[in-house]
Amino acid sequence: MNFEKIAIVGNGLSAWMITALMAKQLRHTKTKITLHVGVEAEITTELQSPLPLFESFLRAIEISPDLLTEKANFHPKLGTAFLFNDKPPFFHVWGQYGAPIGPIEFHQVLMRFGLMGETADLNKLSLGAASILAGKFQKPTPNSQSINSTYESSWSFETAVFVNVLKSISSAMGVEVNGERVSKVEVGDACVVWDESDRPHEYSYLINTIPDLIGGSHAYESWFPGLPFTLRTQSKTKNTLSPLVNKVKVIDSATWLCEITHRNLAVLNVYQFEKQDMGSNYVHKSPRSPKCLNFGPAMANLCSPLFSAIDLSSIASTLLLRYFPAPTDGTAVVGEFNAVLRSAFENLRDLTQLCVNQLFLREYHEEAKIPLSPQAEYKSNLFKARGRYPFLESEFFKTEWQVWLLLGLGFEYGGVEPMVSFIKDDAIREHISKVENSVMRSLSAMPKLN
């Protein structure tokens, strides 16, 4: 397939991440890349807090994490605090809770502990959660035998500065930026980007982050709708929260309040979920074509307190790196790309639905009004039966993070894996006690956060 001229359409974090990625990967070829920025600016919160998988993207664009930390004012985050009026908070950290017993995962051990009629404080079974409570921090260790290997940090940073870094990389790689207003894009024998004067710009390949721009002259594949919501953001200059954690609080059956802190600044995001699906704006339409890939925040509608826009962009760009350039059977490759990406976003949608309901249930002891998709119902039932959750069965996410989120929010389960039931009760109790003692010992040796 010919990739002489590639067009990327978008004006925000997703578009610039993809542009920098493609420019780096194709710098030794004759491919020309043009970014069309004459579209509505991508709506993102002022600050992002990506998962550690973001490091794979930095490697792909050949940027040192230490260098970017300095340029974009990065600082560490350990996770998210879920707050409740009359109950202790739950700290969902980037990392593990406890340690396995041989091949037995720790979440299975903890669920068996609960089925024995025992209770445990999750915040005492994670060095990350304990660090948040104590206001301590140190870099995690890669040593898998150390309790510090369960301790991971994320990054919070100024999005605008990061975008400027991506622009600098793209410019150095010879990317052309077209600022003319884009009216629509079409995919046929060639990929065409039309400007407001009805002038066509033809390309051999198109990467589009604005699904609504796709013309209607060819077949579509409709993606499942996400959770429609409105977002209001307000910045505050006084930061009274821990710099190590973002905070989420449920307000009512359809409203979340998320506070993201960055040094001396706190940004309040209020997410109001609507009662009905808002229609095509919340459904991604992907043309059946080997010459066009479509992705961006609009397709997933999941810019929620749980998942930031940069997380979603990282998934898409990682997939793009795997599937691009497409071989001669490009249709099959693009179809596989879209299938994997859709599965990822649907799973995030399902997790968001379950967490909205569980947050409200824990706070008000009644069900929220967010209906579950059939896929979320299936995953919920599987978790209750076996403590398993078929979320993202790929390397892009650590499944354990999703499991611990559900357990920490109070998700009910009914059973454990068969082999777990053969472990003696005393061995389970001893293991839980050892984990808590190890966390407390390690915490005492950690330095206070500056």
Domain segments of the chain as ranges: 5-95+152-416
In percent, the amount of the chain with pLDDT more than 90 equals 20
Quote the crossing angle between the two packed helices 374-386 and 330-364, to the nearest 10°: 70
CATH topology of domain 5-95+152-416: FAD/NAD(P)-binding domain (3.50.50)
Q: Which residues of 245-275 are buried (b: 16+ CB within 10 A; e: fewer)?
A: bbbbbbeebbbbebbbbbeeebbebbbebee
pLDDT at 282: 41
pLDDT at 280: 45
pLDDT at 299: 40
pLDDT at 300: 40
pLDDT at 309: 67
pTM for this model (two decimals) = 0.81
Tell me the pLDDT tens digit for each residue of 171-198.
999 999 999 999 988 877 788 999 989 8
pLDDT at 143: 65
- What is the pLDDT confidence band of residue 399, given thresholds at 50, 70 and 90? low
Question: What integer best gives the mean pLDDT of the chain?
Answer: 78
In percent, the amount of the chain with pLDDT more than 70 equals 76
Tell me the pLDDT tens digit for each residue of 306-328.
666 677 777 778 777 777 766 55
> Is the dihedral angle over the CA atoms 69, 75, 77, 82 positive or is it negative?
negative
**Most trustworthy range by pLDDT among 217-231, 234-248, 412-426:** 412-426
224: pLDDT strictly greater than 50: no
The average pLDDT across 31-48 equals 78
47-61, 92-106, 210-224, 407-421: which range is least confident on average?
210-224
Distance CA 394, CA 410 (A): 25
pLDDT at 43: 57
The average pLDDT across 74-80 equals 80
Contacts of 374 (CB under 8 A, 6+ apart): none
Tell me the pLDDT tens digit for each residue of 237-288.
666 667 788 888 888 877 877 777 766 677 777 777 766 544 444 444 454 5
pLDDT at 167: 94
123: pLDDT strictly greater than 80: yes
Distance CA 348, CA 51 (A): 14
Taking the CB of residue 122, how many other CB atoms lie within 10 A of it?
18
pLDDT at 169: 93
- What is the pLDDT confidence band of residue 55, given thresholds at 50, 70 and 90? confident
